[in-house]
């Protein structure tokens, strides 16, 4: 059996780990680059590579590995259930400079879990046993898992944690919700705390870590080795830097609305955006602004106006009005209460990748 490697060291030894959560149609190589410029997390994860009979490695997703200019490790995430194909694609991915291979056992989209992949696997520990065993046996290097606490309930949780140990998984990213709880319920941090006690590998606590303050609270309550952050990093790409400041006992940097306007411009200028037709360019911007808008104004007026806009230029006009009228005003560290991103899950508009 190949020996497992050791995890890449954190950027700042002694501080807890941070990771950008994988997000389909968001965390491509361009977005990772932007995030790294505002203060990189320790680890990145790719969007999931779909694995099935005769599947090949998706070339666009592969770019987040081959064109990774963040200077930080990238784990390649796979979703699938066919063991020979998972092994085949994991070996292919291992030809590239990946930090490790990650298995998705959490995706809550019905079209995914109905195929018994992603979160669907959590219903079948026996299958998980065979998948992890085969991957561990046949691939070199780090093998990591990202999962939820269960499918409908947590009946299989203990058993799956035992499998994480049995197959010597190197890192567990744990979203503290069941598949059926999707993205909206309270996060069961108590079960993340339980997992950190049960498993032999480091655990990244995931779910609703919205700021440096909540990162500190979640780490204290769970004892996890670090935090994995998704939606809050789209809203506030400075979050990883702010967490490091807070963990080192320094004041957390404030961000002005003008700086947020610059971030939006960077998103707009990612190479994909100018090549899209107008309607799609507007949707492309809305995908990010949906989250950013949660910290712009407490009444949610920015989000309401932005959602009604039909063109990119209308959207940018709204951004200018809300962000550059009082450019020195602070961008809220937390989302304003009641100002919600809609949708705030994996239902982003289909985009044509170039």
Ligand X SMILES: Cc1cc2nc3c(=O)[nH]c(=O)nc-3n(C[C@H](O)[C@H](O)[C@H](O)COP(=O)(O)O)c2cc1C
| Residue 261 interacts with ligand X (CB under 6 A): yes or no | no
Subset of 68-107 contacting ligand X (CB under 6 A):
77, 104, 106-107
Residue 308: partners with Cβ closer than 8 Å, 6 or more residues away: none
Task: Kindly name the residue from 72, 107, 201, 319 that is annotated as catalytic.
Answer: 107
Instruction: Name residues contacting ligand X, limited to 212-251 (CB under 6 A).
Output: 229-232
- Provide, rounded to whole angstroms, the least separation between the CB of residue 46 and ligand X: 8
Q: Show the site string, 154-193: x = touches ligand X by CB under 6 A, - = not.
A: ---------------------x------------------
Contact call for residue 351 and ligand X (CB under 6 A): no
Question: Hey, CA dihedral for 137, 138, 142, 147, is it positive or negative?
Answer: negative
Binding range to ligand X, per CB under 6 A, among 88-96, 127-135, 273-281, 344-352: 344-352
Question: 3-class SS at 272?
Answer: coil
How many residues bind ligand X (CB under 6 A)? The answer is 24
Label each residue of 7-75 as H, E or C: CCCCCCCCCCEEEECCCCCCCCHHHHHHHHHHHCCCEEECCCEECCCCCCCCHHHHHHHHCCCCCCCEE
**Any known ligand binding at 216?**
no
Residue nearest to ligand X (CB): 230
Residue pair 330/239 in contact (Cβ under 8 Å)? The answer is: no
- Selected from 7, 17, 19, 26, the binder of ligand X by CB under 6 A is 26
Asked if residue 118 lies in contact with residue 147, where contact means CB atoms within 8 angstroms, the answer is no
> In the complex with ligand X, which residue's Cβ is closer, 64 or 208?
208
Residue 107 annotated to the active site: yes
Which letter does DSSP use for residue 141 in this model? S
3-class DSSP string for 313-324? HHHHHHHHHHHH
Q: How far apart are the first and last CA of the chain?
A: 40
**Please, which residues bridge with residue 50 across strands?**
79
Q: Report whether 175 belongs to an annotated binding site.
A: yes
Q: Which of 138, 223, 348, 351 binds ligand X (CB under 6 A)?
A: 348
State the binding site: 77, 146, 175, 230-231
State the binding site for FMN: 77, 146, 175, 230-231
Binding site for ligand X (CB under 6 A): 21-24, 26, 47-48, 77, 104, 106-107, 146, 175, 206-209, 229-232, 345-346, 348
């Amino acid at each position: 059996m190949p020996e497992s490697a050791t995890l890449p060291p954190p950027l700042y030894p002694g501080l807890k780990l941070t990771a950008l959560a994988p997000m389909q149609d968001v965390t491509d190589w361009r977005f990772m680059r932007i995030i790294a410029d505002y203060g990189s997390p320790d680890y990145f994860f790719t969007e999931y590579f779909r694995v099935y009979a005769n599947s090949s490695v998706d070339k666009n997703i592969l770019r987040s590995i081959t064109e990774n200019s963040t200077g930080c490790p990238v784990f390649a995430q796979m979703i699938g259930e066919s063991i020979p194909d998972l092994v085949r694609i994991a070996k292919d991915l291992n030809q590239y400079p990946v930090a490790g291979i990650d298995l998705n056992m959490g995706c809550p989209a019905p079209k995914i879990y109905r195929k018994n992949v992603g979160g669907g696997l959590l219903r079948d520990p026996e299958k998980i046993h065979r998948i992890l065993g085969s991957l561990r046996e046949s691939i070199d290097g780090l093998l990591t898992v990202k999962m939820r606490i269960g499918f409908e309930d947590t009946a299989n949780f203990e058993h799956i944690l035992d499998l994480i140990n049995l197959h010597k998984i190197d890192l567990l990213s744990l979203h503290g919700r069941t598949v059926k709880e999707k993205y909206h319920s309270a996060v069961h941090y108590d079960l993340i705390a339980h997992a950190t006690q049960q498993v032999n590998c480091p655990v990244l606590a995931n779910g609703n870590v919205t700021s440096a303050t909540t990162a500190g609270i979640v780490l204290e309550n769970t004892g996890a080795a670090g935090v994995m952050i998704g939606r809050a990093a789209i809203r506030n790409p400075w979050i990883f830097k702010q967490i490091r400041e807070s963990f080192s006992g320094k004041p957390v940097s404030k961000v002005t609305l003008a700086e947020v306007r610059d971030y939006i411009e960077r998103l707009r200028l990612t190479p994909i955006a100018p090549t899209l037709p107008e309607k799609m360019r507007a949707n492309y911007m809305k995908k990010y602004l949906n989250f950013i808008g949660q910290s712009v104004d407490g009444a949610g007026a920015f989000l309401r106006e932005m959602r009604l806009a039909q063109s990119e230029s209308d959207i940018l006009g709204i951004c200018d009005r809300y962000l550059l009228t009082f450019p020195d005003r602070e961008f809220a560290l937390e989302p304003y209460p009641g100002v919600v991103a809609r949708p705030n899950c994996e239902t982003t508009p289909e985009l044509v990748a170039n």
